[in-house]
């Protein structure tokens, strides 16, 4: 697809998992990818594969980092074609023992950082654009182990998508969310470390396709939502979960 050549995308969480796969895929298609990351070794791993990815190092728990990211994006480009908010963190915890600090961190990194950065870069989407938020199956269904704080954050991204799509439609900016199921990344490595436990096998059996997803399979959907192929799609939240949501 030549359509990505010369286009510019900002991807948070481009240093690992789904964000990394998306950054590499878009860059391979000829796009200029500006990505955020926090861990030096994770960013280095990506740069060893594709040195053209332009990383901005930041810790999204720190509110001051949002302005820094926005300013850096303005230094690097005068037009932005899309924004993907992939950075995310999860803590499993029964609700009664959740510490407010952890709930706040999940809301800050998963939701507020994306919202604030988007606000800052919107004026660069002069010719329209595409925004993609990464929600989670845990916003809709029981998660194992439980994490109501994570569901709170990921559910907010669905609401944000529903609210922003009509608001930004006039400016030809589309806003959609992706809802991944179980994807093998650093975030889920503990789950796979216990790969042969009966509990985890039970969960995999509940997925109609009988397997976990690959980061590239989510990245393909993100690429589609950033592309002209999805030019009439906005305000939707799309499952990418091997059919888990069918129950």
Q: Which residues bind ligand NAP (CB under 6 A)?
A: 13, 15-19, 37-39, 42, 58-61, 86-90, 109-110, 134, 136, 180, 182-183, 185-188, 215
150 as an active site residue: the answer is yes
| 89 or 233: CB nearest ligand NAP | 89
CB of 166 to ligand NAP, least distance (A): 24
CB of 210 to ligand NAP, least distance (A): 16
CB of 228 to ligand NAP, least distance (A): 24
| 126 or 199: CB nearest ligand NAP | 199
145: preceding bond cis by omega (within 30 degrees)? yes
CB of 152 to ligand NAP, least distance (A): 12
Instruction: Give me 29's structure tokens.
Output: 């298609």
| 129 or 181: CB nearest ligand NAP | 181
Query: HSE-up of 43 (CA within 13 Å, CB side)?
Result: 17
Name the DSSP class of 143: -
Whole-angstrom Cα distance, residue 138 to residue 90? 11
CA distances to 40, 64, 179 from 57, in Å: 8, 13, 26
Q: Catalytic one among 66, 91, 141, 150?
A: 150
| 5 or 119: CB nearest ligand NAP | 119
Instruction: Look at residue 152 and give its three-state secondary structure.
Output: helix
CA triplet 212, 55, 70: central angle to 5 degrees?
A: 105
Give catalytic residues, as residue numbers.
Answer: 150
């Amino acid at each position: 697809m030549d359509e990505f050549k010369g286009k510019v995308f900002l991807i948070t969480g481009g240093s690992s998992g789904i964000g990394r796969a998306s950054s590499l895929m878009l860059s391979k298609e000829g796009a200029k990818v500006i990505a955020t990351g926090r861990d030096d070794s994770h960013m280095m791993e990506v740069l060893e594969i594709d040195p053209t990815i332009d990383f901005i190092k930041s810790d999204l728990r720190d509110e001051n980092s949002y302005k820094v990211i926005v300013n850096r994006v303005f230094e690097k480009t005068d037009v932005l074609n899309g924004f993907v908010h992939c950075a995310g963190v999860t803590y499993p915890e029964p609700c009664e023992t959740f510490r407010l600090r952890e709930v706040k961190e999940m809301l800050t990194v998963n939701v507020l950082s994306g919202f604030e950065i988007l606000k800052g870069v919107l004026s660069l989407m002069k010719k329209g654009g595409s925004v993609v938020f990464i929600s989670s199956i845990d916003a809709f269904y029981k998660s194992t182990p439980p994490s109501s704080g994570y569901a709170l954050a990921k559910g907010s991204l669905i609401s944000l998508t529903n609210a922003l799509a009509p608001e930004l439609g006039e400016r030809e900016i589309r806003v959609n969310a992706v809802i991944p199921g179980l994807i093998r990344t650093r975030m889920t490595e503990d789950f796979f470390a216990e790969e042969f436990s009966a509990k985890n096998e039970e969960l995999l059996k509940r997925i109609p396709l009988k397997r976990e997803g690959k980061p590239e399979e989510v990245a393909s959907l993100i690429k589609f939502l950033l592309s002209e192929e999805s030019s009439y799609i906005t305000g939707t939240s799309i499952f990418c979960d091997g059919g888990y949501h069918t129950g």
